[in-house]
Structure 1
C-alpha cells in the first residue's frame, strides 16, 4: 500500500512539475480559540527567502498573518525571535512548521526522496495545541502555503476560502 502511494506521489510530481503533498491532520475542537491573528513560525532548514511571505496571501482576507523563521544563523534565541514577533503582531495563535524527517524510496533510476514536516497550531493564551498535522512532500520541505491553508479550512480550524492566486 505504501509503495503504491509513493508511486502515485512520484508520478503526480513528474507529470505536473509540482510538489506532491499528503497531509494527515487531527483537530481538538474544544481547545480551538476564536482568533484572527496568526503567527507562522518556521523551523524548516534552508527555506527560500520569500517562502514565509506566501502565507500572508494564502489565508482568507479576514485573517492577519505574520511570520518568523527560527534560523540557526540568527543571533537571538528562538524564544526571543518568536516573542518579539508575537508582541509586534499581537498574534492569538501560532502555526509552527518543523522538519520531521527525510527518507528515500525505491532504487536505481526510480529512487525518490520524501520529506516529512510536522505542523502544529496552538493558542498563545493557553500554550495548548488544537491542530496537528504530518505533511509529506516529495523532494522539498517547503509545503505550498495554500495547501496548508486548504487543510485548515477543511478541518474547520479557519473559516473562508483561499484567495484566488494572483499569478
Structure 2
C-alpha cells in the first residue's frame, strides 16, 4: 500500500505541468498586503481556499470567498464590495476556472487531464485590474495557488522571496 501511494505521488509530481502567462499594467504601482481571493464557480471551494491560505506568502494576509455565478443574483462587482466590507482588503484576486484540458488518445477516446484558469488582480475599492494571468494546469484538478503567488513574486507585485508553507488561515 505504501509503495503504491509513493508511486502515485511520484507519478503525479512528474506528470503535473503548470504553465502561466501574465500581463501587468506597467504604469500602475500597487502596494498591498491584504488580499481578498474570490473563487468563481469553484467545484471544490473549501479545498481551493485552503490551498490559498497555505500558499500565502509571509507578510501578506488574505480572506477567501467563493461565488457560484449561476446561483447569484448580484453582480460580481457588488459581491466583491459586500465581501470586502468584512475583509478590508487592499486588492481582490479573482480566480476562475475557464475550461478543461482535454487529451485524445490514438483510439479517439478523450479524457480531461487538467484545468485552465484566469486570474486577475484588481485594486479596491475601485476594482481596476492591474495584473492578469492565464494558467494551464495539467495532471491535476487543483487550483495552483503556489504557482499564482510565485508568478506574482516573479512579476514584482509581491515582495518576498519565500512562500509561507505553514498550515492555517491568515487574517
- Determine if the TM-score, normalized by the shorter chain, exceeds 0.5: yes
Instruction: Give yes or no for the alignment of 1:120 onto 2:117.
Output: no
Instruction: Give yes or no for the alignment of 1:32 onto 2:29.
Output: yes
User: Which of residues 73, 81, 84 in structure 2 aligns to 1:83?
Assistant: 81
Q: Which runs of 5+ in 1 are unaligned?
A: 1-12
- Measured after TM superposition, the shift of residue 61 of structure 1 is 2.2
- Measured after TM superposition, the shift of residue 129 of structure 1 is 1.0
Relative to the length of structure 2, the TM-score reads 0.75
8 Å contact 2:137–2:144 — kept in the other structure?
no
Cα 1:164–1:56 shift into 2, 3 Å:
closer
Distance 2:61 2:47 in 1: 18
- Measured after TM superposition, the shift of residue 95 of structure 1 is 0.5
Cα 1:34–1:28 shift into 2, 3 Å:
same
RMSD: 2.7
Residue 90 of structure 2 corresponds to 92
8 Å contact 1:68–1:82 — kept in the other structure?
no
User: Which of residues 43, 48, 58 in structure 2 aligns to 1:46?
Assistant: 43
8 Å contact 1:57–1:163 — kept in the other structure?
yes
Distance 2:58 2:73 in 1: 31
Relative to the length of structure 1, the TM-score reads 0.76
Q: Deviations over 1:96-142 (max 9, x none)?
A: 01121224223147955342111111111332211111000125443
Q: Which runs of 5+ in 2 are unaligned?
A: 1-9
- Measured after TM superposition, the shift of residue 81 of structure 1 is 4.0
- Measured after TM superposition, the shift of residue 165 of structure 1 is 5.2
Runs of 4+ in 1 over 3 A off after TM superposition: 72-81, 108-112
8 Å contact 1:41–1:67 — kept in the other structure?
yes
Distance 1:69 1:149 in 2: 19
Distance 1:66 1:82 in 2: 12
Distance 2:51 2:114 in 1: 22
In the alignment of these two chains, the number of paired residues is: 154
- Measured after TM superposition, the shift of residue 65 of structure 1 is 0.4
8 Å contact 1:24–1:133 — kept in the other structure?
yes
8 Å contact 1:117–1:141 — kept in the other structure?
no
- Measured after TM superposition, the shift of residue 20 of structure 1 is 2.2
